[in-house]
Chain A
Amino acid sequence: MQRQKHLVLILAREFASNLATPTLVADHEGRLVFYNEAAEAVVGRRFAETGEIDIEEWLTPFSPRDEDSMPLTPEHRPTRIALDERRAAHSRYRVTSADGLEREIEVTAFPLFAHADEFVGIVAIFWRT
């Protein structure tokens, strides 16, 4: 039987689905469980086509790299920091979006705690600069 998604994730999804800013939601294991229509436009794929996948697997095709064009290792990505260290993180980096263009973006990721000892996932917001 499928597990009930935590209410906090359900609310985060509803929040994200009403935003015009590209936003994704991942669960406590780092599985991408939702990204909104604004993110779909950047990714070039609908969430329904992607399904629930590992967030790093989802990010890899965009070749995240720093301002010197060096690959950005996962531990330096805000999403990974929010997942592993369970703290908010923000950084600016470059990606290649689905249309093949190089873009500079800023990413804010923060953890979701239902209780102090109950980490349920993260939200990441992608700001186009």
Chain B
Amino acid sequence: MPARLTIWGCRGSVATPGPETVTYGGNTSCVEVALADGAVLVLDAGTGIRPLGIELLARGARRIHLLLTHLHLDHLEGLRFFAPLWDERVTLDVWGPRSPVLSLRDRILRSFQPPLFPIDFRDVPARVTFHDVPREPWTLEGVSVAAALVLHPGPTVGFRVETGTASVAYLPDHEPALAGIGDRPPDWISGGMLALDADLLLHDAQYFEDEYAARIGWGHSSVRHAVAFSRAVGARQLVLFHHEPNHSDQVLERLEDHARALVGEDAPAPAPALARERMVFELP
């Protein structure tokens, strides 16, 4: 099934609007996978989901699946401003990681109450259903989706979406280096089987190596680790995701150069690329 993937937000941790971030964008994580029949999968609900929501309503989208990697604010904060949520014609299925304590619904609804928000979730007009991600791959709107817990503080999953002819792995918040990358087979690497031989890998590359050294255990990767992970799983294209809020466009371009140097000139094309808002990938 052909599909189109669009990045609506790729900034990590906190939205960073301003003149220094206009090229790659300041919205936090949100990726759309639009399917040929009009159905839509949305990966994460960072602030990038706000403009996406406006676009989806304009397109007449009525069936939407929102797949949440985890509930840190930068992946959830846009949901309350997602226009389809406020349209009674929309059916929204929200999928996210299980927690040993509270249900997915209860955890998300915390952000729909005072003092964080003035409107109670009971007043949301869209038909919303919450689902824990299944342990085995499942089918959504004709595409296969797999989720697995990955290394990041708190219950966090990565996703793999297979259209039948193309595969995408989405691991926006991920620190696989904590449990080893290079010396392990893919099934022993956090998120390894999700990303194995993926045509497109959107992976956390928040830090330069010296920045990472001061932030070990925070749940994010250095660009070196992102390249090592991509190589270990045999991904065809690495897209550097979850940009550090303090990195301007200029700094990000240095990070991309560094990633390309790490990969080396003899590596198969295409070279690693920075994620940027409105970047589109056609999935055949």
Q: How far is the CA of A3 from the CA of B193 in the complex (A)?
A: 7
Q: List 12 A-B contacts (CB under 8 A).
A: A1-B193, A1-B196, A3-B193, A4-B187, A4-B192, A5-B187, A6-B149, A7-B150, A7-B151, A8-B149, A11-B151, A114-B149
A87 CA / B186 CA spacing, docked (Å): 30
A10 touching B179, Cβ below 8 Å: yes
Q: Please tell me if A20 contacts chain B, counting CB pairs below 8 Å.
A: no
Total contacting residues, chain B, CB less than 8 A:
21
Q: Is the beta-carbon distance between A10 and B196 smaller than 8 angstroms?
A: no
Are A7 and B196 interface neighbours, CB within 8 A?
no
Is A2 part of the binding interface, using a Cβ–Cβ cutoff of 8 Å? yes
Q: Is B188 an interface residue (CB 8 A)?
A: yes
Asked if residues A2 and B150 are in contact (CB atoms below 8 Å), the reply is no
State whether A10 touches B188 (Cβ < 8 A): yes
Q: How many chain-A residues does the 8 Å CB contact rule pick out?
A: 16
Which A residues are in CB contact (< 8 Å) with B194? 4
A118 to B187, CA, bound (A): 19
Which residues of chain A are within 8 angstroms of B148 by Cβ–Cβ distance? 4, 6-7
Which B residues, 147 to 193, have Cβ-Cβ distances below 8 Å to chain A? Answer: 148-151, 178-180, 185-193
Question: A116 touching B192 by the CB < 8 A rule?
Answer: no
Is B62 close to A, CB under 8 A? no
Interface of A is mostly: mixed
The 8 A CB mask of B36-51 against A (1 = contact, 0 = none) is: 0000000000000000
Interface of B with A (CB < 8 Å)? 98, 100, 135, 148-151, 178-180, 185-194, 196
Bound-state Cα–Cα, A20 to B206, Å: 33
Query: Would you call A7 and B190 a contact (CB within 8 A)?
Result: yes
Indicate whether A116 sits within 8 Å of B179 (C-beta atoms), given known contacts A7-B148, A7-B150.
no
A-B contact count (CB 8 A): 41
Show the binding face of A for B, using Cβ within 8 Å.
1-8, 10-11, 13-14, 114-116, 118
Inter-subunit contact A11/B179 (CB<8 Å): yes
Q: Give the complex CA separation of A75 and B98 in angstroms.
A: 33
**B190 close to A2 (CB less than 8 A):** no
Chain B residues whose CB sits within 8 angstroms of the CB of A2 once the complex forms? 185-187, 193
B96 CB, min distance to chain A CBs, angstroms: 14
Q: Cβ of B150: which chain A residues have Cβ within 8 Å of it?
A: 7
A6 to B229, CA, bound (A): 17
How far is it, in angstroms, between the C-alpha of A26 and the C-alpha of B112 when the chains are bound?
42
Q: What's the Cα separation between A8 and B240 when bound, in Å?
A: 26
Q: Which residues of B contact A8 (CB under 8 A)?
A: 149
* Chain A contacts for B179, CB-based, 8 A: 10-11, 13-14
Chain B: which residue is nearest A12 at the CB level? Answer: B179
A13 proximity list for chain B (CB < 8 A): 179, 188
Q: A114-B149, A118-B135 are in contact. Are A4 and B193 (CB under 8 A)?
A: yes
Across the interface, which residues of A come within 8 angstroms of B178, CB to CB? Answer: 14
Q: Name the A residues within 8 Å of B151 (CB-CB).
A: 7, 10-11
Contact across chains for B186 and A7 when beta carbons are under 8 A apart: no
Is the Cβ of B100 less than 8 Å from the Cβ of A116?
yes
By a CB distance below 8 angstroms, the chain A residues around B186 are 2
